[in-house]
A and B are shown apart, each in its own frame.
Chain A
Amino acid sequence: MAHLLLRHRDIPDIGRLEVYQKNGGFEAFKKAITRMKPQEVTEVVKASGLRGRGGAGFPTGVKWSFVPNNIWPHYVVANADESEPGTFKDREIMESNPLQFLEGVAIAAYATGANAAYVYLRGEFWTVAAILDEKIADMENAGFLGDKLFGTDYSLRIYTHLGAGAYICGEETALLESIEGKRGQPRIRPPFPAVYGLYGKPTVVNNVETLTNLPLIVEKGADWYKSLGTADSAGVKIFSLSGHVNKPGNYELPFGTTYRELIYKYGGGVTGNRPVKSIMSAGASSTMIVADDKALDTPMDYTSVRGLGADLGSASIIIINDTVSLEWVISKTIHFFTHESCGKCTPCREGTYWMLHLIERIQRGEDIKANTELLHSVAMQMQNKCLCPLGEFSTMAVTTAIERFPADFKPSHSRGQHG
């Protein structure tokens, strides 16, 4: 099937305005503005079953419907902070198919009554921001952004805002704080951004991939979109495949593709022709899946992955073969989260610090049994105690590596990375 999101793989110049337009670009935005009420757009998106692609999987149309009509102005913010280890899909969309993404931003803005939208990019995406700025200018010149669009009273401007290196800013309230010129630390919720968001105004925050689906849904309808994928997971998904595979990269596939297909049919098999030891299904925030036949044959959709004691998340799949010890894997993830904890909540700030000390003791071979038990205990104590999911995310791989791969934490085990 032709790509729906990574369309540049079929049409190389789709990033150029005239090519995008020739291939149906901006027809959906025009249709929405000139022939649909904002509420009707929201209803179509609700009916399509589109769920947020940033990780949480919350139904997009439902999120929009929480925006109140008695507080103004409204804002739309595209979350382009993509910082989860193992995730690199939004970057490819913005680099190579930027206009479909920006048209999606415009449709979301129209549906929620916003006249200004911000694209919040992680600071490292410096060249991506330059691409988007250029495309936004092209759209303004062509009359797809600006005042009184398509002869209506609707006006819209899109702005880019560069972050400066902070994983936490992918959390939507931290992201909003960052646009406001503050340290990116999460807010207490409720109120949720739909009611109290950017500058205290109703705000919809959607992931880049989520937004890039919108032109297709508006153009082809909810039923068409639902016909792709599985019952609880409508549409297509970009799976970012990394780690021990021969052909890492982004693969746009229908929901329901199995891990085995992804690894062997698309990913070219495992590095060194070794067996898969563990799969991380949602980047560094994942639990460690034991890669037995049952796991490998599990369809990648929201419900099925949960059956493995894991989450689909943003579908960032890290493959780990049997040359690696899981105590080394979690030393990497703990190091990441210790660095990225924003410091606001004590369990996360102190817990990640202690997890790092404990895994270092284990790696040095110091009283491995006692320190492994203590590490597990510290991780368990952090769960459900923080304002945002980061604290909890940092413990996912830790507790499940210890529980599901006990042999890797035995004193006699050879530790580290051997591949």
Chain B
Amino acid sequence: MLAEKYPEEVKKIFAKYPPEQRRSAVMPLLYLAQRDQGYVTKAALEDIAQILDITTTDVAGIVGFYTLYHDRQAGKYRMQVCTDLPCALRGADKFLEDLCGNLGVKVGETTSDGIITIEEVMCLAGCDKAPMFQLQSGEGIEYHENMTLDKTMELVAALRKSGKEVK
């Protein structure tokens, strides 16, 4: 239960919005739920609905609409590669293909050790620094830009070793 487990964070979230507009807290609460479990569990949907006094369906509707909320477990890190037009003009499609080949996965799949899930995403506002991707985990999101396959495989090796993100 988020309110009991993270009382300080929940208080901070509600302080941002007028007291009568509790529903505004749904997005930050969902991020908090993802930090807690890695994805939004069914229990978290019900918990957030109860905190905000809205229906579980309302909360699920938010999860379904926005791409950064996930309703199922994936790898510890989601490696989200942009292949939109400006990135593709700088070789992003080939980069993604090579990356998948090297990791032995298809887009949407997770490496057998459960560390990396490869995803293809829409524009991330890093068009001048392609190929690029973001690494999403429960802890947040970090950009990796001007990437090569070698640099990316080094990052993957480091993530596998420590289970932690390195700069």
Which residues of A approach B to under 8 Å, CB–CB? 82-88, 90-91, 122-127, 159, 161-167, 178-184, 199, 240-244, 248-250, 280, 284, 316, 318, 320, 324, 329, 332-333, 336, 339-340, 342, 417, 419
Residues of the A chain whose Cβ atoms lie less than 8 Å from the Cβ of B101 = none
Nearest Cβ in chain B — how far from A152, in angstroms?
23
| CB-CB nearest in chain B for A324 | B89
Check if B85 sits within 8 Å of A332, measured CB to CB: yes
B68 within 8 A of A: yes
Stretch at the interface among B102-110, B139-147, B149-157: B139-147
Interface size on B, residues (CB 8 A): 41
B42 contacts the other chain (CB 8 A) = no
Residues on A with C-beta less than 8 A from B129 are: 248
Given A164-B68, A184-B65, A244-B89, also A122-B125 (CB < 8 A): yes
Q: Does B36 sit within 8 A of A, measured CB to CB?
A: no
Contact: A86 with B67, CB < 8 Å? no
The listed residue (A125, A181, A199) touching B26 by CB distance below 8 A is A181
In the complex, number of A-B residue pairs with CB atoms less than 8 Å apart: 138
User: CB < 8 Å: which of A84, A162, A163, A181 contacts B23?
Assistant: A181
Q: Are A243 and B89 in contact (CB under 8 A)?
A: yes
Residues of B participating in the A interface, judged by any CB pair closer than 8 Å: 16-18, 21, 23-28, 30-31, 52, 61-62, 65-69, 84-86, 88-90, 93, 121-129, 134, 140-143
Q: A126-B142, A166-B66, A318-B85 are in contact. List 6 more A-B contacts (CB 8 A).
A: A87-B127, A123-B141, A127-B141, A180-B24, A250-B128, A318-B86
Q: Please, how many angstroms separate the alpha-carbon atoms of A159 and B140 in the complex?
A: 19
Q: How far is the CA of A243 from the CA of B31 in the complex (A)?
A: 33
Q: Which residue on chain B has the smallest CB distance to residue A318?
A: B86
Q: Which residues of B contact A243 (CB under 8 A)?
A: 85-86, 89-90, 127
Contact across chains for A166 and B89 when beta carbons are under 8 A apart: no
Which one, A82, A124, A280, A336, contacts B134 given CB within 8 A? A124
A242 engages B89 (CB within 8 Å): yes
A181 touches B84 (CB 8 A): no
Q: In the docked arrangement, what's the CA distance between A243 and B86, Å?
A: 5
Contact check, B127 vs A88: say whether CB atoms are below 8 A apart. yes
- The chain B residue sitting closest to A166, CB to CB, is B66
